[in-house]
């Protein structure tokens, strides 16, 4: 499988809010690192609750016979760069005769392997521009007993390489393999498209792709202090958690607003 670098463009290519938020649970040892270590975590798609997220399959069944030949020829060119054009065309004809991409069992197995390898290398940080989404406080911030980190989106995206808004749709978009779609088109359709049942999250994303499988430590990325704009505390947060958050914000981040949700929403 080819894991070539994906072009991310520049921040000027995206329209995004000035502040983006991440809902967290202070009693979760992984979540408190967002303040204690000034970290974000770029999660693997294999960990997502939405089993279709970032797993939109390539539609090989939509390729014409000419496109199938071209696709195989590109594989030959990539795998055997020293072969002549005539040899690559011969490879393509021989491989196309096997008609593997009309074999449902082969396609399912191939896509499963592709998604596994992709998930090892892809990392996603899910955010939202809305700090007052009650469903999000309930689902991701310990039923309003947690906290919400507000980030300067420009500094955040600059630190991570870009990002954008998730597009919610009735059906996930069809994806054709390269070269029939560009790497950028494939990336956008795969990573920035979700089904409408997730629309309540009003999600923005930033993400990173590694050429080789990413370790946990690679996915833990420390942000500069300037990336933090504010901390919002849930209505039901305990006195102990509140005091700890205030302590670590002052210690690790500095003088940024720490406000109650009731004063924001």
* Model confidence pLDDT, tens digit, residues 71-129: 888 888 888 888 888 888 887 888 778 887 777 888 888 888 989 999 999 999 999 99
Kind of pairing, strands 147-152 and 228-233?
Answer: antiparallel
| Domain-embedded: residue 182 | yes
| Domain-embedded: residue 246 | yes
* CA dist., res. 41 & res. 196, Å (int): 25
For residues 14-24, average pLDDT: 87
| Domain-embedded: residue 161 | yes
- Give residue 4's pLDDT: 30
Return left, alpha or beta for 178; rule: phi > 0 is left, psi -120 to 50 is alpha, else beta: beta
* CA dist., res. 192 & res. 206, Å (int): 10
The band of 57, judged by pLDDT with boundaries at 50, 70 and 90, is: confident
In sequence order, the 6+-apart residues with CB closer than 8 A to the CB of 236 are 142, 143, 144, 145
| Domain-embedded: residue 105 | no
Cβ 27 vs Cβ 144: under 8 Å = no
- Name the burial class of residue 254, with classes exposed (0-12), middle (13-18) and buried (19+) by CB atoms within 10 angstroms of its CB: exposed
Please, what is the average pLDDT of the chain?
89
> Which CA distances in Å does 118 have to 20, 122, 175?
26, 6, 15
Percent of residues, the chain, with pLDDT higher than 90: 63
* CA dist., res. 44 & res. 205, Å (int): 13
Residue 1 has pLDDT above 60, yes or no: no
* CA dist., res. 62 & res. 181, Å (int): 13
- Give residue 15's pLDDT: 66
**Radius of gyration for the alpha carbons in the chain, expressed in angstroms and rounded:** 22
| Domain-embedded: residue 129 | yes
Residue 64 has pLDDT above 50, yes or no: yes
| Domain-embedded: residue 168 | yes
Q: Domain containing 248: what range?
A: 11-55+123-263
Cβ 42 vs Cβ 209: under 8 Å = no
Cβ 74 vs Cβ 179: under 8 Å = yes
| Domain-embedded: residue 147 | yes
Residue 217 has pLDDT above 50, yes or no: yes
> Which CA distances in Å does 247 have to 151, 186, 244?
19, 44, 5
Q: How many domains does the chain have?
A: 1
| Domain-embedded: residue 101 | no
């Amino acid at each position: 499988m080819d894991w070539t670098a994906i072009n991310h463009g520049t921040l000027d290519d995206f329209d995004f809010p000035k502040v983006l938020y991440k809902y967290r649970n202070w009693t979760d040892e992984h979540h408190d690192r967002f303040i204690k270590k000034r970290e974000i975590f770029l999660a693997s798609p294999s960990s997502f609750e939405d089993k279709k997220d970032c797993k939109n399959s390539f539609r090989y069944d939509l390729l014409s016979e000419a496109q199938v030949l071209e696709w195989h020829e590109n594989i030959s060119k990539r795998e055997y760069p020293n072969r002549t054009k005539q040899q690559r065309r011969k490879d393509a004809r021989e491989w196309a005769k096997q008609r593997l991409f009309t074999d449902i069992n082969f396609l399912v197995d191939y896509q499963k392997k592709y998604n596994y390898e992709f998930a090892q290398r892809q990392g996603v940080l899910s955010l939202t521009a809305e700090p007052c989404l009650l469903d999000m406080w309930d689902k991701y911030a310990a039923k309003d007993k947690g906290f919400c980190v507000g980030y300067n989106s420009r500094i955040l995206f600059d630190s991570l390489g870009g990002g954008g808004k998730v597009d919610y749709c009735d059906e996930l978009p069809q994806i054709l393999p390269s070269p029939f779609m560009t790497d950028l088109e494939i990336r956008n359709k795969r990573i920035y498209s979700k089904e409408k049942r997730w629309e309540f999250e009003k999600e923005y994303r930033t993400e990173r792709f590694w050429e080789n499988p990413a370790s946990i430590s690679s996915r833990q990325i420390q942000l500069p202090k300037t990336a933090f704009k504010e901390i919002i505390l849930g209505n039901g947060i305990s006195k102990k958690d509140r005091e700890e958050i205030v302590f670590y914000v002052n210690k690790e981040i500095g003088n940024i607003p720490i406000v109650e949700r009731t004063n924001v929403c």
